[in-house]
Chain A
């Protein structure tokens, strides 16, 4: 369920991301004012949430791929919690670096 939810959220984000990039067609003024807006702490926080969704989806996806290949069957519960822990840890670490930059 978590994998489906993060996946659908990322599909929605990808659609919005592609739509937003169309502002590049409007020229430097439109793009640069948009960049100014999304460089604020609020949007940076949303970027960190996005990073969390990407990491959780990616790490959980690796676990599901292993399961699909018939590997680590007895370790699934541990692997799930490990992917969750690593995902959250990396989100905090990289997210902090994004804010401190």
Chain B
């Protein structure tokens, strides 16, 4: 198995694992946002209270990391379908990693700024 195909297999396995993890994470996020909030969607004070609850913070952080990983691996799969050169694939991989770090960092920074 070549380096590219073993990397592809690792991506596929990670994509499948994050996909399965998303089932409970999306389910809980959806129920929490649409069915548990009093009066519909949360107002500002309710968002802050919600995120200050430690299990909720852990759950939402896990959701952010898992959904970002799954989404960017999906974008990578679409790029692979287009038959990129090895150099283009390396560059797009780097760009996707940077986007992922940026998205998770942004989400965490926003959450921490709110709950402090």
Give which listed residue, B41, B68, B107, B114, contacts A35 with CB less than 8 A. Answer: B41
**What number of B residues sit within 8 Å (CB to CB) of A?**
30
Check B75–A51 contact: CB distance below 8 A: no
Residue of B at shortest CB range from A43? B41
Decide if B1 is an interface residue (CB 8 Å cutoff): no
Check B23–A32 contact: CB distance below 8 A: no
**Whole-angstrom distance between the alpha carbons of A35 and B33 in the complex?**
12
Grouping DSSP codes into helix (H, G, I), strand (E, B) and loop, the A interface class, with mixed when no group exceeds half, is helix
**Whole-angstrom distance between the alpha carbons of A68 and B5 in the complex?**
15
CB distance from A11 to the nearest CB of B (A): 5
Check A54–B26 contact: CB distance below 8 A: yes
Interface residues of B in 78-116 (CB under 8 A from A): 78, 81, 103, 106-107, 110, 113-114
Decide if A78 is an interface residue (CB 8 Å cutoff): no
Check B110–A21 contact: CB distance below 8 A: yes
Check B45–A24 contact: CB distance below 8 A: no
Check A25–B16 contact: CB distance below 8 A: no
* A21-B110, A65-B20 known; A31+B47 contact, CB < 8 A: yes
Give which listed residue, A7, A32, A35, contacts B74 with CB less than 8 A. Answer: A7
Interface string of A1-12 (1 = CB under 8 A from B): 000100110110
**Whole-angstrom distance between the alpha carbons of A6 and B14 in the complex?**
19
Chain A interface (Cβ within 8 Å of chain B)? 4, 7-8, 10-11, 14, 18, 21-22, 24-25, 27-28, 31-32, 35, 38-39, 47, 51, 54, 58, 61-62, 65, 68, 94, 97-98, 101
Chain B interface (Cβ within 8 Å of chain A)? 12, 16, 19-20, 22-23, 26, 30, 34-35, 40-45, 47, 67-68, 71, 74-75, 78, 81, 103, 106-107, 110, 113-114
A-B contacts, 20 of them at CB < 8 A, read: A7-B71, A7-B78, A11-B71, A11-B74, A18-B103, A18-B106, A24-B47, A25-B110, A25-B113, A27-B44, A28-B43, A31-B44, A31-B47, A39-B40, A58-B19, A58-B23, A58-B26, A62-B20, A68-B16, A98-B34
